[in-house]
């Protein structure tokens, strides 16, 4: 969309100005404005209609799917978004909105939504054991509490219907036939018609359902619980597949009025403990719980958990060291190479440059795995081939592991710096260089006082974003060392090369008895605040840099 409009602005043939012969400054300005807001070229209009049509076609498909799945809120939001997009692009004028709309949309979907969702999760106990709503948890507990009565017979079962209600016809292993439904306890019947396997299938006055009919009414049939006798302690007969039934007895009974579960054998009562689980008086909880809002608890835990607090300081220091050192090293090497390869009289520059960029093309997680093989103390290529069979624990010694991580990250990261520095260097005007030389400055002086400050103006923001990226550089750490070697003084699985984000991952997913999304989100938000603060301060500094030079 933007491309067509740009072309239109620079193409003199598309000019709609009626008369270019009579010129006055005021008139010229008016024609220019007319061209901006006036009717578009045919090509532009076609392109616009096609693109907008594609977007709308997709939108209609999505809206239909949302309608079918009855997601009303999502449907409403999507419909509104589609209308706004159409309005922006179909109306005349409002050029800034046309440029900004796609970016803003993606920003909302991929950034703001994710941040807000993390924000919401951080205030809940969402995680293993607290996976859904309370109703779901109660249903799941009831489902799993149904235990088959020991040594009870297996019944062959047919499903019958009469007056729009369903009945189950049971044949026990001895061939005895009985009928029952939820409000009709099991009762022996006679005169049932049996098939070749001896299973009772028909009964006078009732209609026998075939499998398709059973499936069409499966919810009602699954809900049938036939009391075995007048005594509820004997349990109930239920079928799960419409052809076999077994005698079940709940191990836990739910009392909807009191909102409690009672253990049918021990008599223990489980109550809602306010923490998203049913707990007995002795503190024992039922394994399935539900998601609740816990307020600031996750944030409090991040700072008070003793096994987390101990190694946390070391990890934070190393995270900063890692991020700063990574940026500094990659920038130094990238800049050095960029200057070296920027000499005009160098032959084969293109080949060198392509070789330089290669590491950038590998996925980081793959690189991590490959390097961890190269650095294997006994079988790794580095020790075996380069160092003649030395046995150096590159990834197992705490200090060496830190150095290895930095070196591998340098290898991964310098091509990016090389690229941006090359670009920035080439955009510097040559006259400055010449002028400085005329004034008698040596090459170092030219670099130090002229090129570097000018470079920094354009590259400093990239250095900051590179810092933010390395602060959370999960792939390199996790694939290369997994955070190890492990600290000896904590019972958490935290090691010398762990940075904050790998620590969060381990705490939230790899530890304890399950995943804890709530705590993970809270820790992620804390990291986010740190990175945002550092970046904000750095950007202020960059602004100052710009002012000095302009």
Partner 1 sequence: MKVQNTLTTGTSRRVFTAGAISVVAALALSACGGAAATGPATATATAKPDLKSGGAGTITMWVDAERSPALKDITAKFKADTGIDVKLVVKDFAAVRDDFITQVPTGKGPDLIVGPHDWVGKFVQNGVIAPVELGDKKDAFQESSVKAMTYNGSVYGVPYAVENIALLRNTAIVPDAAKTMDEVIANGKKAVADGKAKFPFLVGMDPKQGDPYHLYPLQSSMGSQVFGKAADGGYDPKQLLIGDAAGVEFAKKLAAWGDKGEKIINSNITGDIAKEKFLAGESPYYLTGPWNVPDVQKKGIKFAVDELPAAGDQPAQPFIGVNGFFISAKSANALATNEFVTNYLTSEAAQDSMYKAGGRPPALKASFDKAASDPVVAAFGKIGATGVPMPAIPEMSAVWADWGATELALIKGQGDPAADWAKMAASIKAKIKG
Touching partner 1, residues 305-344 (CB under 8 A): 307, 326, 330
Binding mask 153-192 for partner 1 (x = CB under 8 A): -x------x--xxx--------------------------
Angle between helices 398-427 and 349-361 (to 10 degrees): 130
Distance from C-alpha of 33 to C-alpha of 27, rounded to nearest angstrom: 10
Nearer to partner 1 by Cβ, of 23 and 244: the residue is 244
Q: Rule CB under 8 A: choose which of 61, 99, 120, 381 binds partner 1.
A: 120
What is the SS3 assignment for 144?
Answer: helix
Q: Which stretch binds partner 1 (CB under 8 A): 24-32, 52-60, 195-203, 217-225?
A: 217-225
Distance from C-alpha of 336 to C-alpha of 198, rounded to nearest angstrom: 88
254 binds partner 1 (CB under 8 A): no
Q: Where are the alpha helices (DSSP H) in 245-305?
A: 297-304
381 binds partner 1 (CB under 8 A): no
140 binds partner 1 (CB under 8 A): yes
128 binds partner 1 (CB under 8 A): yes
Q: Rule CB under 8 A: choose which of 466, 499, 503, 518 binds partner 1.
A: 466
Q: Of 390-419, which residues contact partner 1 (CB under 8 A)?
A: 395-396, 409, 412-413, 416
- DSSP assignment of 80-134 equals HHHHHHHHHHHSSS-HHHHHHHHHHHHIIIIIIHHHHHHHHHTTB--BTTB-S-H
Distance from C-alpha of 236 to C-alpha of 448, rounded to nearest angstrom: 87
462 binds partner 1 (CB under 8 A): yes
87 binds partner 1 (CB under 8 A): no
Q: In the chain, count of helices (H) and strands (E)?
A: 21, 15
Q: Which stretch binds partner 1 (CB under 8 A): 191-199, 342-350, 426-434, 466-474?
A: 466-474
Q: Which of 245, 247, 235 shows the shortest CA–CA distance to 199?
A: 245
Any idea what DSSP says for residue 172? -
Q: CA dihedral in degrees (361, 366, 369, 375; nearest 10)? A: -10
Nearer to partner 1 by Cβ, of 22 and 70: the residue is 70
Distance from C-alpha of 327 to C-alpha of 299, rounded to nearest angstrom: 30
Q: Rule CB under 8 A: choose which of 439, 513, 548, 550 binds partner 1.
A: 513
What minimum distance in Å lies between the beta carbon of 363 and partner 1?
Answer: 9
Q: Rule CB under 8 A: choose which of 6, 60, 83, 112 binds partner 1.
A: 112
Q: Of 1-60, which residues contact partner 1 (CB under 8 A)?
A: none
471 binds partner 1 (CB under 8 A): no
Nearer to partner 1 by Cβ, of 158 and 446: the residue is 158
Q: Which stretch binds partner 1 (CB under 8 A): 34-42, 208-216, 350-358, 450-458?
A: 208-216
139 binds partner 1 (CB under 8 A): yes
What minimum distance in Å lies between the beta carbon of 55 and partner 1?
Answer: 23
What is the SS3 assignment for 278?
Answer: strand
358 binds partner 1 (CB under 8 A): no
Q: Rule CB under 8 A: choose which of 34, 78, 342, 376 binds partner 1.
A: 376
Q: Rule CB under 8 A: choose which of 136, 183, 259, 434 binds partner 1.
A: 136
| Residues in the chain, overall count | 550
* C-alpha separations of 86 from 67, 74, 101, 542 in Å: 20, 18, 11, 39
Encoding tokens for residue 428? 């510097």
Please, what sign has the CA dihedral across residues 22, 24, 29, 30? negative
């Amino acid at each position: 969309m933007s491309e067509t409009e740009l072309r239109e602005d620079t193409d003199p043939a598309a000019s709609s100005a009626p008369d270019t012969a009579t010129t006055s400054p005021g008139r010229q300005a008016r024609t220019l404005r007319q061209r901006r807001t006036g009717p578009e070229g045919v090509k532009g209009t076609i392109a616009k209609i096609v693109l907008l049509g594609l977007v709308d076609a997709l939108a209609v498909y999505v809206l239909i799917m949302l309608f079918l799945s009855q997601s009303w809120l999502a449907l409403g939001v999507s419909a509104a978004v589609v209308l706004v997009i159409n309005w922006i692009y179909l109306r005349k004028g409002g050029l800034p909105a046309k440029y900004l709309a796609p970016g803003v949309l993606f920003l909302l979907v991929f950034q703001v939504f994710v941040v807000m969702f993390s924000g919401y999760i951080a205030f809940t106990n969402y995680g293993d054991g607290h996976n859904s709503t309370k109703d779901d948890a109660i249903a799941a507990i009831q489902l799993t509490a149904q235990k088959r009565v020991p040594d009870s017979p297996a019944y062959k079962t047919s499903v019958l219907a009469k007056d729009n209600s369903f009945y189950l016809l049971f044949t026990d292993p001895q061939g005895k036939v009985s009928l029952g439904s939820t409000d009709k306890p099991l009762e022996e019947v006679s005169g049932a018609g049996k098939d070749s396997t001896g299973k009772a299938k028909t009964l006078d006055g009732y209609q026998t359902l075939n499998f398709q009919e059973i499936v069409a009414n499966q919810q009602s049939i699954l809900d049938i619980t036939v009391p075995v006798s007048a005594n509820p302690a004997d349990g109930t007969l239920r079928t799960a597949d419409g052809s076999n039934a077994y005698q079940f007895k709940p191990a836990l009974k739910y009392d909807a009025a009191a909102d409690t579960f009672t253990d049918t054998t021990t008599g223990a009562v489980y109550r809602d403990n306010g923490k998203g689980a049913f707990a007995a008086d002795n503190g024992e909880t039922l394994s399935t719980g539900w998601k609740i809002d816990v307020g600031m608890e996750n944030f409090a835990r991040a700072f008070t958990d003793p096994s987390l607090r101990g190694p946390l300081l070391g990890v934070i220091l190393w995270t900063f060291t890692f991020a700063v050192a990574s940026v500094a090293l990659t920038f130094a090497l990238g800049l050095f190479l960029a200057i070296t390869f920027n000499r005009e009289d160098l032959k084969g520059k293109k080949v060198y440059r392509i070789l330089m960029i290669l590491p950038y093309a590998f996925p980081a997680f793959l690189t991590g795995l490959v390097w961890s093989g190269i650095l294997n103390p006994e079988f790794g290529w580095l020790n075996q081939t380069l160092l003649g069979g030395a046995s150096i624990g590159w990834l197992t010694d705490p200090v060496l592991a830190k150095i290895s991580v930095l070196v591998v990250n340098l290898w991964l990261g310098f091509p990016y710096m090389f690229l941006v520095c090359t670009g920035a260097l080439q955009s510097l005007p040559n006259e400055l260089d010449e002028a400085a030389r005329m004034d008698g400055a040596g090459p170092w002086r030219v670099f130090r006082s002229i090129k570097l400050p000018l470079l920094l103006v354009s590259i400093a923001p990239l250095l900051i974003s590179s810092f933010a990226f390395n602060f959370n550089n999960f792939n390199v750490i996790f694939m290369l060392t997994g955070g190890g070697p492990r600290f000896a003084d904590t019972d958490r699985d935290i090691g010398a090369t762990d940075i904050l984000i790998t620590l969060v991952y381990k705490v939230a997913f790899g530890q304890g008895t399950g995943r804890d999304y709530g705590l993970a989100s809270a820790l992620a938000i804390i990291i986010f605040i740190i990175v945002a603060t550092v970046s904000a301060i750095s950007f202020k500094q960059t602004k100052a840099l710009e002012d000095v030079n302009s």
